[in-house]
Structure formats: structure tokens, C-alpha cells
């Protein structure tokens, strides 16, 4: 089957909701014609179709698509994931962990590709939405130990001033291939994106506390956000409720 025919078949399967068969067709191409042939096809698939396949991750097995998707392709998929309106963000966290922590991945390259796109910082904020209080604590203290945290949220200028401080913990101490390691990499290797993500996360939390949409929350910014009731046991910032049509 030539590339154009496979692309048409894959898109047809995805449109019909048969994601398993779509992934199987792509895997078969890699098995029969090699990884390079699959990469050529992935380059021609729209981001929404790549997203449809990679968000249905299965952490019990490696997906050849997850292993071969490029940082730019992945970034374009990540920024439109919100269209699925998954309030739990389970799929977003799962696919991000599966791809950016894959064995050969340059995590910073993936993060930069995400940060370069409009909506990239928002997607990262969605990834951390259930860990907002812990991320604020990490920004203040340099550790994830809430016992060291006085709860005083850093101002934007203080965040910028602390962007290039030496790590208090080393990456291998938090190498969980999950949110903690990703937060460490962001803060210490891509600090500008870490700050941008955290400011977006605060806006989401503020909107949640005020009972506003996130757009209204950004307009009603008083610079104050209460973090004690987030992932420490009570609440999480609201997920984005966009007007875009769900991709489901």
C-alpha cells in the first residue's frame, strides 16, 4: 500500500472511531517497510489524527507511533488535546509521559517545541492542573516537600528572579518519568516556559475560585491565589471549558 492510500485508510478508520485498527495499519507499515516509511506518513497526517492515535496510549506496551513522532508533530497534537474536553487530563498526562520520557527522547527539545506554539503553555498548565499546589511549592522552595513551604506565593518578578537558581534537589532524585520530573526539567532547563506555564496555571485556578470562565479570570486578576486547597486534598483548578467543538 502506498503512502497516500495508507493515509486515506488511516484517516477513514480514525473518523469512524476505530483507533485500534488505525494504529495497527501504521504499525504494519513500520513492520513491512521500516520506520522511515512510517515517519513519512506521520509527517503527512494532520495533528488531530496523530493525536487520536497517541492519546489512546497503553502503558503496558510501547507504541511505534509514540516512539517515532517528532517533537514538532507531538507539540501540534498536544496543543489541540483540549478539544477532547477530558476534565481529568488522564490522556494528556499519559501521552506526554509516554512520548517525552521515551528512551531516545530529548525532553527539552519536546518542551521547547510545545512552548513555541500558541497554546503550548496552556497545555502544560493542563498537564499540571491536579498538582498546582505542589508546583507552587516547588517554585517557592525548590523542593516538593510541602513541610518547607510557607504558602506565600511568589510574585511574577520574584519568579523571574529565581529562574536560574541552582537546584536544591537533583533530577535523579525526582526521576519518576511523571509530573515531578517534568516540573524539575521545566524549572531548571526551560525556566522561561516554567514561569509562563505557572502564570497560566494560576489564572486557571483564579477563575475556578471566582466561579468564572478562564478568560474572565484573566481579566479579574488581583494577583492573589489560594493554593492550600488544591492537590493537598480539596480542589483542583478547573479544566478549560472552551467553545471549540469536542474532537470526540
pLDDT digits (tens, 9 = 90+) for 66-115: 999 999 999 999 999 999 999 899 999 999 999 999 988 999 999 999 99
Integer Cα distance of 236 and 230 in angstroms = 5
- State percent of the chain over pLDDT 70: 81
Burial 98-119 (b: 16+ CB within 10 A, else e): bbbbbeebebeebbbbbbebeb
Does residue 181 or residue 235 have the better pLDDT? 181
* Whole-number average pLDDT of the chain: 83
Q: In angstroms, how far is the first alpha carbon of the chain from the final one?
A: 28
Confidence bin at 39 (pLDDT 50/70/90): very high
Find out whether 81 and 240 touch, Cβ atoms under 8 Å: no
Find out whether 31 and 25 touch, Cβ atoms under 8 Å: no
Radius of gyration of the chain (CA): 19
Does residue 234 or residue 122 have the better pLDDT? 122
Q: Is the pLDDT of residue 226 over 50?
A: no
Q: Is the pLDDT of residue 236 over 70?
A: no
Integer Cα distance of 97 and 78 in angstroms = 12
Find out whether 57 and 94 touch, Cβ atoms under 8 Å: yes
Confidence bin at 63 (pLDDT 50/70/90): confident
Does residue 41 or residue 215 have the better pLDDT? 41
Note the pLDDT tens digit of each residue in 8-21.
Answer: 999 999 999 999 99
Note the pLDDT tens digit of each residue in 145-182.
Answer: 876 666 678 889 999 988 888 999 999 999 999 999 99
128-132 mean pLDDT: 92
Q: Is the pLDDT of residue 232 over 50?
A: no
What is the pTM (predicted TM-score) of this model?
A: 0.81
Integer Cα distance of 24 and 9 in angstroms = 11
> What does the pLDDT read at residue 149?
65
> What does the pLDDT read at residue 213?
56
Amino acid at each position: 500500500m502506498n503512502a497516500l492510500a495508507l493515509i486515506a485508510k488511516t484517516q477513514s478508520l480514525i473518523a469512524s472511531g476505530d483507533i485500534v485498527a488505525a494504529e495497527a495499519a501504521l504499525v504494519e507499515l513500520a513492520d513491512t517497510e521500516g520506520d522511515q516509511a512510517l515517519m513519512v506518513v506521520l509527517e503527512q497526517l494532520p495533528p488531530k489524527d496523530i493525536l487520536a492515535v497517541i492519546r489512546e496510549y497503553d502503558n503496558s506496551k510501547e507504541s511505534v507511533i509514540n516512539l517515532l513522532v517528532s517533537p514538532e508533530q507531538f507539540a501540534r497534537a498536544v496543543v489541540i488535546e483540549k478539544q477532547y474536553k477530558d476534565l481529568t487530563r488522564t490522556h494528556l498526562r499519559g501521552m506526554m509521559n509516554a512520548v517525552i520520557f521515551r528512551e531516545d527522547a530529548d525532553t527539552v527539545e519536546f518542551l521547547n517545541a510545545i512552548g513555541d506554539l500558541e497554546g503550548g503553555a496552556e497545555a502544560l498548565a493542563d498537564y499540571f492542573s491536579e498538582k498546582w499546589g505542589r508546583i507552587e511549592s516547588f517554585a517557592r522552595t525548590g523542593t516538593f516537600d510541602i513541610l518547607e513551604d510557607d504558602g506565600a506565593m511568589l510574585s511574577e518578578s520574584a519568579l523571574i528572579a529565581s529562574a536560574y537558581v541552582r537546584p536544591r534537589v537533583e533530577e535523579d532524585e525526582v526521576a519518576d518519568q511523571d509530573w515531578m520530573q517534568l516540573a524539575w526539567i521545566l524549572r531548571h532547563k526551560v525556566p522561561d516556559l516554567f514561569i509562563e506555564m505557572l502564570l497560566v496555571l494560576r489564572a486557571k485556578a483564579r477563575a475556578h475560585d471566582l466561579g468564572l470562565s478562564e478568560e474572565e479570570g484573566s481579566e479579574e486578576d488581583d494577583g492573589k491565589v489560594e493554593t492550600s486547597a488544591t492537590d493537598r486534598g480539596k480542589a483542583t483548578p478547573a479544566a478549560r471549558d472552551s467553545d471549540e467543538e469536542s474532537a470526540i
